[in-house]
Structure 1
Amino acid sequence: MRKLFFLCLLSSLSLSALAEGFLTRLLNKPVPGGVAVIGLPEQPQAPRARYRDNPLLIVREDGTRWIAIAGIPLNTSPGTEHIVLADGTRVPFSVKPREYESQHITLKNQQQVTPDAARLKRIQRELSEQTSAYQTFSPRQPSNLLFDRPVDGRLSSAFGLRRFFNGEERNPHSGLDFAASAGTPIQTPAAGRVILVGDYFFNGKTVFVDHGQGLISMVCHLSAVDVQVGDELERGAKLGKVGATGRATGPHLHWNVSLNNVRVDPAIFIGSFTP
């Protein structure tokens, strides 16, 4: 009898795993700074949904069901959240807890910790440009949701770290850092369109790529940029070269992924997420 119980349990677990499509298994990491995959009602055309008043990426999973893919802000408390369908229906999903470690960084240039008034004006202008880019929502369907790494190199700094510069706490780390030598080629992790190129106080030389429906990649601290706004890029196209421009202590690549205007852990999209 006991053996039969365990066989039934294993069978139900196997059926549950099979019911989940590839995208759900890859992306559904519903933690602060993570991604939630939410099943949607069946209908002929793609449904529309919003989360915290931002439109969501909607795709057909394995040709069987519509799913919404929602980025969860890093400051979200564990518990129940909701997305809202076009007809006003609220669909719940659960956010699980996750703890993030701290990182302490020493900078020689104190202006990169507490900028003066003139630099703050520049920073605010640059922040406005980048915020606008992150809010882009184009109708194009992402070509792929399993991304390539933008550069060859080990992960040197994880997403979500609480960051202290010269002992002063600043915004958490919003992306992944890759250790790589100056001049190492950087590639776009999936096909997309270049929507912003800049040289910023904190980020240095920077490129934003729109992959479609609110899914945006940003790479920064580049030594050189090889693309311009409006360029349509195939997966693996060269964006530029690794550098140490902006607020950086040495050559490396910083990579952000934004979904519905929320910065999420890029490790999810390359299959390297660890709870």
Structure 2
Amino acid sequence: MLSIKKILMICGLIATTQTFALPQDSRRAGGIAVIPVAKTVTNITYENKPVLVVEGINSMNQIIFGIPLSAPLGTLQLQSSNGPINIEVKPYKYAEQRLSVKNQDYVNPQQEQLDRYAVEAKEQNAIYTSFTPQQWKEFPTFIRPTAGKFSNSFGRKRFFNGEERAPHSGLDIPAPVGQKVVAPANGTVIAIGNYFFNGNTVLIDHGQGLISMFCHLSKIDVQKGQKLQQGEVLGLVGKTGRVTGPHLHWGMSLNNARVDPQLFLAR
């Protein structure tokens, strides 16, 4: 009979050792550009801010760049010591999602709630725009933070009670309340909180502007500043905040761009 730990390992929720591989290259709004560059190319920035660079063992490094969901089609440009680096943003059609939300405060919040959200958004934006040292020797292969079928909800244009809202910036994983949520890669808990839209939330800093986010939790099992290893439990699935049912919202932010979390998983 298999132990619970063995079952979780098979499901990809616990890793005995962290494996390494680059994210998938998908040059679309909400995607990731993986760009090989010579090691002599330095000072790589986007809008005057540094971007994630993985050092190679040969003569090449790899730029790992998050393309914003708001990016228009056409050429997006990074800057470097050797001049501009162009990225061609390609067409990609995201689905639409129409949701019925019973609590009208989550559709048309009152001024007090909007003021609360503004404070929370400012706090989260400071995290997304931060740039700390890398926390890996080689770029890690991420694992699923919880078991369940992916809804492919990332990037969907959303309508709440018929009213259009911003595209969905994370991946929803339907799961029962109380199911374990684990760290998909090594990192440091940079923030925890109960937010108006996101409910109970944990944010993990993986270094160099790469942040993961886990929302709607029923319980938070970590503290701010705590260092986590891949596979460690950070909380439990819930239905706090703006939800239509229990699930985990898993978000990934790279150079302050919300990108598709599935691109970090092994194919």
TM range (shorter): 0.7 to 0.9
Q: Distance in 2 between matches of 1:100 and 1:53?
A: 30
Which of these two proteins has the greater Rg computed from alpha carbons? 1
Tell me if structure 2 keeps the 8 A contact 1:54–1:261: no
Q: For 2:141, which of 120, 129, 146 is the aligned residue?
A: 146
- Is 1:76–2:76 an aligned residue pair? no
Q: Which of 27, 39, 42 does residue 42 from structure 1 map onto?
A: 39
C-alpha distance in 2, partners of 1:72/1:267? 14
CA distance in 1 between partners of 2:82 and 2:112 (Å): 46
Please give the TM-score of this superposition, normalised by the length of structure 2: 0.88
Q: Give the corresponding residue for 1:66.
A: 61
Instruction: Please give the secondary structure, in 1, of the residue aligned with 2:55.
Output: strand
Partner Cα separation in structure 1 for residue 170 and residue 136 of structure 2: 20
8 Å CA contact 1:40–1:47 kept in 2: the answer is no
Contact 2:202/2:214, CA 8 A, preserved across alignment? yes
The one of 89, 98, 103 aligned to 1:104: 98
Structure 1 pair 50/59, CA: closer, same or farther in 2 (3 Å)?
Answer: same
Given candidates 152, 168, 191, the residue that maps to 1:173 is 168
Q: Quick check: 1:142–1:213 contact (8 Å CA) kept in 2?
A: no
Pairs within 5 Å for 1:3-14: none
Native 8 Å contact 2:135 2:186 kept in 1: no
- 2:99 is matched by which residue type in structure 1? I
**Cα distance in structure 2, aligned partners of 1:142 and 1:98:** 31
Pairing partner for 1:216 from 203, 206, 211? 211
Q: Does 1:195 align with 2:215?
A: no
Higher percent of residues as helix: 1
> In structure 1, the residue corresponding to 2:262 is in which secondary structure?
helix
Residue 123 of structure 2 is matched in structure 1 by 129
* Equivalent in the alignment of 1:94: 88
Per-residue Cα deviation, 1:178-222 (whole angstroms, up to 9, x for no partner): 011000000000000000001011000000000110111000000
**RMSD of aligned Cα (Å):** 1.7
Q: Is the 8 A contact 1:47 1:58 kept in 2?
A: no
Q: Which amino acid aligns with 1:114?
A: N
**Where has structure 1 moved over 6 Å in runs of 4 or more?**
none
- How far did residue 41 of structure 1 move? 2.8
Aligned-pair distance for 1:88?
Answer: 6.6
Check the 8 A contact 2:150/2:172 in 1, yes or no.
yes
Q: Return the offset for 1:135.
A: 1.4
Secondary structure at the aligned position of 1:267 is classed as helix
Shift of 1:156: 2.3
Query: Which is further off, 70-79 or 48-57?
Result: 48-57
Letter in 1 for 2:101: L
Q: Which moved more, 1:193-202 or 1:69-78?
A: 69-78
What's the secondary structure of 2:38's corresponding residue?
coil
Q: Deviations along 1:73-122, whole A, 9 cap, x unmatched? A: 1121222221111x371111211111111000000011100001111111
The CA distance in 2 between the partners of 1:63 and 1:148, in whole Å, is 27
Q: Which runs of 5+ in 1 are unaligned?
A: 1-21
SS in structure 2 of the partner of residue 145 of structure 1: coil
Compare 90-99 and 256-265 and name the one that shifted more: 90-99
